[in-house]
Amino acid sequence: MPVVQVSLIRGYSSALKQRLCERLTDAVRTTIDADPQAITIFLHEVDGDAYMRGGRARRPGGEVQTAGHAGAGNESPEQLVRAFLDAMQSRDLQAARALLADDFHMTFPGGVEMTRLEELVAWASERYRFVHKRFDAFDTCDKEDHSVVVCHGELSGEWPDGSPFAGVRFIDRFEVRDGKLARQAVYNDLALACD
């Protein structure tokens, strides 16, 4: 039965500690063939004044102190992606833009590359009137300096002539860096659906 013990400077939220325990459990499971119910994670909290490094007291724990995978509001990478996709579906470009890194880059089927949301809206308006996404799953993978979020499901909506479509498969892959969306790659079967 694997046991992991972590010491934290007091000050982190319950939600962040829960997320940390889930991620540590996942890390153990990918390394050791263990039932998740057999993995125990202990979080030990210490006061900031009880800890020194380099002869100096450390600041109290905060929500995000390392690579910055979470968003500015401490959303998980998945929550950040969901907020972006919700804002885009409702065409709230201002809310969506607030979640993007300055060097945000999108790639769509056919190798179409864009950097601005207005470009995407103009490009999409020639392909369909509107589209809705039904999500089957979200998966997150943490890298050293960013997180990758992949979601997949089905698209439904209306073609430019008003006829409906549904059941079109899609996959979106996002890179979250320093609490912002840095990259999006979109894969779908819309071209096959309109044949």
The reported pLDDT for the residue numbered 44 is 87
Do residues 37 and 144 lie in contact, with contact meaning Cβ atoms separated by under 8 Å?
no
Closest CA to 176 of 154, 153, 157, 150: 150
Please write the tens of the pLDDT for every residue from 14-57.
888 888 888 888 888 878 888 888 899 988 888 876 666 666 65
Closest CA to 69 of 118, 111, 11, 23: 23
Q: Which fold has domain 77-193?
A: Nuclear Transport Factor 2; Chain: A, (3.10.450)
Listed in sequence order, the residues at least 6 apart from 22 whose beta carbon sits closer than 8 Å to its beta carbon are none
Cβ neighbours, 10 Å, residue 134: 11
Q: What dotted CATH number matches 3-57?
A: 3.30.429.10
The model's pTM is: 0.70
The residues spanned by each domain of the chain are: 3-57, 77-193
The reported pLDDT for the residue numbered 190 is 85
